[in-house]
Structure 1
């Protein structure tokens, strides 16, 4: 069953049927377009070595409406040169240790940033 490879996306075929308007799109075959998609997904997943499998898909929720065309039979396709755009980057966490002036305690501060 197709599921979206975008991190934290909960769309998968058994949950969201086509009647709900979600479609799943495989990675392009052309190398330059495929490389663009892979880079976008790697960045959103925070995984520099991630590579798609032959079954990897991105759901329609990550594309703008102008990225689609519909065939005469009603099948929805991505227009050439479409790239996933509607992707939230995961929060980046940093931490720091603050030392008490009396040296009796340490406090760990965690900061979350979303870009």
Structure 2
């Protein structure tokens, strides 16, 4: 069974082609608090990750990876932050006047 990225609008799935492009897949954290942060970051209504839910490396910054060993791992405490949300899911930015 193929594994797909859980991010909104992302069509990456774990296969030979994505591996060749250098895309890695990462399971959601097991701890309740960290998993909840990832779920909220995705901005998907009523979304709840299970033990097989994954997100691809395209939703993390380069410096958030530990590439020292054979396996590419995420550094401790990292939350996905790179998404291409449609307008209705964009967060509004409040600008303060000086």
So what's the TM-score if we normalise by structure 1?
0.69
Q: Closer, same or farther in 2 for the Cα pair 1:16/1:91, shift >3 Å?
A: farther
Aligned partner of residue 17 in structure 2, secondary structure: coil
Q: What are the ranges of 5 or more consecutive residues in structure 1 without an aligned counterpart?
A: 93-112
Higher relative contact order (CA closer than 8 Å, sequence separation 6+): 2
Larger CA deviation: 59-68 vs 83-92: 83-92
Partner of 1:86: 82
Give the length in aligned residue pairs. 90
- Which structure shows the higher helix fraction? 2
Matches within 5 A, 1:36-55: 36-41=37-42, 43=43, 45=44, 47=45, 49-55=46-52
Tell me how far apart the structure 2 counterparts of residues 26 and 85 of structure 1 sit (CA, whole Å).
15
Give the CA deviation at 1:50. 1.2
Query: Deviations for 1:92-115, whole angstroms, at most 9, x for unmatched residues?
Result: 2xxxxxxxxxxxxxxxxxxxx855
Structure 1 position 31, deviation (Å): 1.6
Instruction: Report the structure number with the largest CA radius of gyration.
Output: 1
RMSD: 1.8
Tell me if 1:33 matches 2:29: no
Query: How far apart are 1:3 and its partner, in Å?
Result: 0.8
Provide TM-score, normalisation by structure 2. 0.80
Structure 2 residues not aligned, in runs of 5+: 92-98
